[in-house]
Structure 1
């Protein structure tokens, strides 16, 4: 297992890179770094979003290390440098989010908790945030606190009408179409900067595709129908009346004011009924907060600093 090194996106010094075998037999790629500054503050396990990969977070990893944190991150099964689950490597597939939780628990037991110092924190984006919430009952003794950027608690305003997404995806899955792309889905995530829903920062937007140009094997395209059905199931679980009040892990939810991928209002509603959750909205920011312009990104990192320091 290797990392992609580019002049405009160099590998942070001191990387340890490898692969873990997860339940089901797949191998997932991981990397970790020790802190680059003192005082040492512990370890952050960084949970990526759907279709992302380790290299996309090099800048953020450097920022966290400079704050005194060791950092662990990994590619979920089915994306980035990890094993694919289907013959077509561009289909973003999962059967159930419990598989993602198995990935995280493997990384925690074999890398984060085994190799790096506590206290342990999580920084999770989008799908990564959904995985962390999904497994919060099992993870609350592993992490002191967690920061979630644009967590997948509700779907945004793209694609199908929200009311039909869950029944339609489950119906299509039940007739054997679960491994197909969602209707209209493409084998690539590439799109023009103008009009994109991810970030208003053109340099960081372009950097993602420069990495994929250098290593096309890291890319996946649209999700499969089964992936979407699995996401709908965890969203339904998050909306159960007893889910939020039972959450014991302290979490800070940082939402983007201009998010079209996930629902900022769903995140706000969840945080209001969850005693252990705090909510911050960044007006003007798009979905990928850690890939946004410095103004938005710095706000998020400052909020993270304060939240982790308050333990």
Structure 2
């Protein structure tokens, strides 16, 4: 039985939202939601791909913003998080064996739910881990997805070379001796005080998400496992290969957060210059979760979004100086 959406006073469910689930070949279920456009003219469908540990409820506000622009919004909880099937007996562990499972789930969502029920053209808005998955899927989805907007894509973590090497050695060692389900980096979910959070400078939006997880703790997810770390490193290595980059044909808008301490902004900037049909913008001062940030930063994001989507041709929209995302 699929988990209904969780609503609190500060985070109402968008009007007309439909929630359901679809089955995967390995008997897992993924929860999804369709939010209808709130305008009479439908301009297409925006697919929101969440970051690690996130859930549909976190994107209610963003879904309303996009629906008001005339787009249907479609989104789902990745396997192992939110209200989709968890993968381990300890459901709080963020686990995966390969990011190819995520890509396959995205493709199945497209075929099972989007093509029958949603109007094209189709666009992707993906955050962090979801943005890495979107890049992995880009070559196979080039004839289906018109444009992609990627925020704070996971292409590296701000670490020293020694720290990075140590983390990979430890994760690979644990996985090789059958301990791939061991926590890495952090343990079970525990809400941080706002003052110590690395994701947003907006206290009300931060509190809103904490309140959702307090009401529905089963939606929360703890730290990643060693297996997840190994799988993420392999995915990052794959999308960085020149022969893979050459296969990415979908026009991209990549938006980095200038004050990001979760993923590496320099790595994002280095990656973007290797891509064709790509616009890179950095929002100075924004923390990792740009869509959960203060209005000042979110408004800059949507100025860029509106300039890029829906788009009219095969080349990415070039933003004017007025929408260059800096203070």
Structure 2-normalised TM-score? 0.92
Which residue of structure 2 lines up, in the alignment, with residue 304 of structure 1? 305
Equivalents in 1 of 2:155, 2:117: separation in Å? 31
Which residue of structure 2 lines up, in the alignment, with residue 75 of structure 1? 77
Q: State the SS of the aligned residue for 1:285.
A: coil
Correspondent of 2:98 among 90, 96, 99: 96
Equivalents in 2 of 1:208, 1:167: separation in Å? 34
Equivalents in 2 of 1:102, 1:243: separation in Å? 17
Gap change, CA 1:29 and 1:275, over 3 Å in 2: same
Which residue of structure 2 lines up, in the alignment, with residue 270 of structure 1? 271
Which residue of structure 2 lines up, in the alignment, with residue 280 of structure 1? 281
**1:156 aligned onto 2:158:** yes
Q: How do 1:60-139 and structure 2 match up within 5 A?
A: 60-139=62-141
Deviation at 1:239, TM superposition (A): 2.1
Gap change, CA 1:95 and 1:160, over 3 Å in 2: farther
Which residue of structure 1 lines up, in the alignment, with residue 236 of structure 2? 235
Equivalents in 2 of 1:94, 1:265: separation in Å? 27
Which residue of structure 2 lines up, in the alignment, with residue 14 of structure 1? 16
Ranges in structure 2 where 5+ consecutive residues have no aligned partner = 313-327
Q: Which stretch of structure 1 is more off in the superposition, 143-152 or 101-110? A: 101-110
Q: Does structure 2 conserve the Cα–Cα contact (< 8 Å) formed by 1:46 and 1:71? A: yes
Q: Deviations over 1:241-299 (max 9, x none)?
A: 32223311111100000111111111111110111221100000000000000111111
Which residue of structure 2 lines up, in the alignment, with residue 54 of structure 1? 56
Corresponding residue pairs, total: 310
Q: Does structure 2 conserve the Cα–Cα contact (< 8 Å) formed by 1:252 and 1:278? A: yes
Which residue of structure 2 lines up, in the alignment, with residue 167 of structure 1? 169
Q: Deviations over 1:51-79 (max 9, x none)?
A: 00000100000000000000000000000
Q: Does structure 1 conserve the Cα–Cα contact (< 8 Å) formed by 2:53 and 2:221? A: yes
Ranges in structure 1 where 5+ consecutive residues have no aligned partner = none
Equivalents in 2 of 1:159, 1:214: separation in Å? 40
Q: State the SS of the aligned residue for 1:223.
A: coil
Q: Which stretch of structure 1 is more off in the superposition, 241-250 or 252-261? A: 241-250
Deviation at 1:159, TM superposition (A): 12
Gap change, CA 1:48 and 1:159, over 3 Å in 2: farther
Deviation at 1:115, TM superposition (A): 0.3
Which residue of structure 1 lines up, in the alignment, with residue 210 of structure 2? 209
Q: Does structure 2 conserve the Cα–Cα contact (< 8 Å) formed by 1:23 and 1:102? A: no
Q: Deviations over 1:23-69 (max 9, x none)?
A: 32210100102100143210001000000000010000000000000
Gap change, CA 1:87 and 1:160, over 3 Å in 2: farther
Q: CA RMSD in A?
A: 1.5
Q: Which stretch of structure 1 is more off in the superposition, 262-271 or 167-176? A: 167-176
Equivalents in 1 of 2:64, 2:162: separation in Å? 38
**1:224 aligned onto 2:228:** no
Q: State the SS of the aligned residue for 2:298.
A: helix
Q: Does structure 1 conserve the Cα–Cα contact (< 8 Å) formed by 2:174 and 2:182? A: no
**1:3 aligned onto 2:2:** no
Q: Does structure 2 conserve the Cα–Cα contact (< 8 Å) formed by 1:158 and 1:261? A: no
Q: State the SS of the aligned residue for 1:309.
A: coil
Which residue of structure 2 lines up, in the alignment, with residue 40 of structure 1? 42
Which residue of structure 2 lines up, in the alignment, with residue 259 of structure 1? 260
Structure 1-normalised TM-score? 0.96
Deviation at 1:189, TM superposition (A): 4.5
